[in-house]
Amino acid sequence: MPRPKFNPTEEQRRLVKSLSACGVTQEQIAQRLGLRSTKTLREHFRKELSQGISDANFNVSRTLYKMATSGNHIVATLFWMKCRGGWRERPALELSSLVPPPFIVAKEQGDK
């Protein structure tokens, strides 16, 4: 006897989108819904899985942008510029580690 066909509810769709946004794995989401496989999850919730991740990234990046441009969060500004602005940190030049070149004194002919 075949298993009954799975029909997702709107509540399940919201739950999948929310769990996906929080980084919960597809295996864990399927288990939470009582599904036997992630294939069934992807078959019925493809849109919610994709949108959950993209919505979360959008919300975090929007918040980071607001923090970086406010002038009150220097770390957020530096992080944004390193990730999006191409900035990078360079190691500080340490003078103590520099070895001076050898110094040679030669006596020229004619000098006394």
Residue 35 CB partners (closer than 8 Å, separation 6+): 6, 41
Domain span including residue 61: 10-87
Q: Is residue 98 part of a domain?
A: no
Q: Is residue 65 part of a domain?
A: yes
Q: Is residue 83 part of a domain?
A: yes
Whether residue 74 is predicted with pLDDT greater than 80 in this model: the reply is: yes
Instruction: Give this prediction's pTM.
Output: 0.65
Structural domains counted in the chain: 1
Whether residue 111 is predicted with pLDDT greater than 70 in this model: the reply is: no
With contact defined as beta carbons under 8 Å apart, do 18 and 52 qualify?
Answer: yes
pLDDT tens track for 13-48: 999 999 999 999 999 999 999 999 999 999 999 999
Query: What local confidence, expressed as pLDDT, does residue 97 receive?
Result: 66
Q: Is residue 16 part of a domain?
A: yes
Q: Is residue 108 part of a domain?
A: no
pLDDT tens track for 85-107: 888 888 776 666 667 777 777 77
Q: Is residue 67 part of a domain?
A: yes
Q: Is residue 102 part of a domain?
A: no
Q: Is residue 23 part of a domain?
A: yes
Q: How many CB atoms lie within 10 A of CB 19?
A: 20
Owner of token pair 């989108």: 17
